[in-house]
Amino acid sequence: MNAEEFRQRGKEMIDYVADYIENIQERRVFPTVEPGYLHQLIPDHAPEEGEKWEDLFKDIERVIMPGVTHWHHPQFHAYFPTANSYPSICADILSDAIACTGFSWACSPACTELEVVMMDWLAKLLNLPEQFLSGGKGGGVIQGTASESTLVALLAARHKAVHDYRQTHPDVKNDEEVAAKLVAYCSDNAHSSVERAGLLGHVKIMQLPADDKHSLRGDTLQEAINKDKSQGLIPCFVCATLGTTLSCGFDNTKELGTVCEKEGIWMHIDAAYAGSAFICPEYRYLLDGVEHAMSFDFNPHKWLLVNFDCSAMWFKDTSYMVEAFKVEPLYLRHNNTGSVPDFRHWQIPFGRRFRSLKLWFVLRLYGVKALQEYIRKHITLAHEFEALVVKDDRFEITAEVIMGLVCFRIKGPNEPNEKLLKLINEDGRIHLVPSKINDTYFIRFAVCAKSTESKDITYAWSVITELATGIMENNQ
């Protein structure tokens, strides 16, 4: 494909994409394909000769689309949203064309420097404490996913804890002797990736019970620390969550942070989903306590119209990550090594894309007010759904609705709810996933798509009640 052909085909793709997004509601939100469907539709090896664009292009509808779960369908209410916006797509085209690999400043100064400034823009939008901004010991970086940020924070905390312990215990022979005693904490409502970070980073993670509002509290943490310390363990890390996947619960980061500071423990805050809402002054209170955190992360690629991947992470002091795992061979050194951030040291992967362009395009073309309105609209829609649930006394709300997630269930035992969810997803008009806390099974309704409107909320509720009524009548 030469440049002339790209001008034609690229524009065809732009039109295809606009058509796809504009008419997405005509598609079934969740596909009906069975495992292995795709390999039956295409050859089992690459072609020797190049194929025609037309043949490839028509295969998008024949091969790909039947197997797509349409995350941007107004009837998609599963998981949490993943962002998708036209400005972000435009920025990614530019990023792809520049196609630099930003492992060091010299690899493309613009790639590093725009990221520094964009992370400061975002930090100011969230009113993060000054220490998280660039210019001092702290700073922000774009990670791929919140799960990587959790792992990065855990590894930095692990390193710090081992280092600190050996400073005060010169008799200890090696790092592993300390590492074997390390222990970290999160709520039993935390995302699976926190537990996994512990497995990957070789630190035992204790899942502590959240309170009846799905919030991990300071006294619970303090108790656990006391008990573990009395058994010779070394507490090193707490991952607090603001907006859990299970129910959009909020850990009490003020209480947890106070304990962590007293005990010299690294607190990381994972606000993957809810973090975007903190750009609205009326939701900023939910972030109180961040001043006690050593690191903080949220995903603009979830709820701030920046396409995946763009997970925004800040450190109060980058040195624990950057210095601990730094390897610097000659071929990577440049004239400004040491005086500018080389972001490969801040992350797990070596290479990195020019992702700050997406943030720049979205923040400038929408502006802060429009982004705030976007967040508020989703939360309003969630409350509209909540009101429908509350009005129907066969159902109950299982967690306070604070953001764009509503957790609900048919009153009584789990089984009808399991049956209802199964029916909903087989029916295929809307798509939802379940959750469970303390053996209570419930259904999560997330406002996800950019195009979701009030009518989609009432539509979803009509589908749910239609199917639920069928179940209840059959049970009578």
Q: Which residues touch 201 (CB under 8 Å, ≥6 apart)?
A: 151, 154, 155, 158
| Segment near a second copy (CB under 8 A); pick from 281-289, 326-334, 393-401, 453-461 | 326-334
Q: What residues from 366 to 395 belong to the interface with a second copy (CB under 8 A)?
A: 366-370
191 catalytic? Reply is yes
**Binder among 33, 223, 400, 440 for a second copy (CB under 8 A):** 33
Nearest to 298 by CA among 269, 336, 267: 269
At 21 the three-state DSSP class reads: helix
User: Does 329 help bind a second copy (rule: CB under 8 A)?
Assistant: yes
Stretch that binds a second copy, among 164-172, 187-195, 211-219, 375-383 (CB under 8 A): 187-195
* Touching a second copy, residues 338-367 (CB under 8 A): 339-340, 348-351, 353, 357, 360-361, 363-367
Decide if 67 contacts 34 (C-beta within 8 A): no
Number of residues that bind a second copy (CB under 8 A): 142
Q: How far is the CB of 74 from a second copy (least distance, A)?
A: 14
Q: 331 phi and psi, to 5 degrees?
A: -65, -10
Which residue, 147 or 292, is less far from a second copy as judged by CB?
A: 147
Segment lying near a second copy (by CB under 8 A), choices 140-148, 259-267, 286-294, 376-384: 140-148
Distance CA 294, CA 132 (A): 9
Q: Restricting to residues 415-454, which ones interact with a second copy according to CB under 8 A?
A: 433-436, 441, 444
DSSP state for residue 34 in the 8-state scheme: P
Stretch that binds a second copy, among 146-154, 256-264, 397-405, 457-465 (CB under 8 A): 146-154
List the one residue from 60, 213, 411, 466 that touches a second copy (CB under 8 A).
60
CB of 386 within 8 A of CB of 444?
Answer: no
Q: Measuring CA to CA, which residue among 155, 137, 129 is closest to residue 257?
A: 129
Return the residue matching tokens 């689309």: 65
Tell me: does residue 192 bind a second copy (CB under 8 A): yes
| Footprint (CB under 8 A) of a second copy, residues 201-230 | 202
Tokens 């909540």 — which residue? Answer: 386
> How many Å separate Cα 173 from the centre of its chain?
39
Provide the CB-side half-sphere exposure for 314 (13 A, CA): 33
Q: How far apart are CA 21 and CA 304, in angstroms?
A: 18
Nearest to 121 by CA among 109, 110, 112, 134: 134
Give the Å distances, CA to CA, from 201 to 149, 153, 156, 348. Answer: 12, 10, 10, 12
Is 26 an interacting residue with respect to a second copy (CB under 8 A)?
no
Taking CB under 8 A as the criterion, the residue among 25, 27, 28, 113 binding a second copy is: 113
Q: Residue 284, interface with a second copy (CB under 8 A)? A: no
Give the residue from 91, 12, 88 showing the smallest Cα distance to 54. 12
Query: Between 85 and 253, whose beta carbon lies closer to a second copy?
Result: 85
Q: Which of 191, 301, 378, 431 is catalytic?
A: 191
Closer residue to a second copy, CB minimum distance, 191 or 217 = 191
Least distance CB 207 / a second copy (angstroms): 11
Among 63, 233, 390, 472, binds a second copy (CB under 8 A): 63
Tell which one of 29, 75, 119, 120 touches a second copy (CB under 8 A): 120
Catalytic residue positions? 191
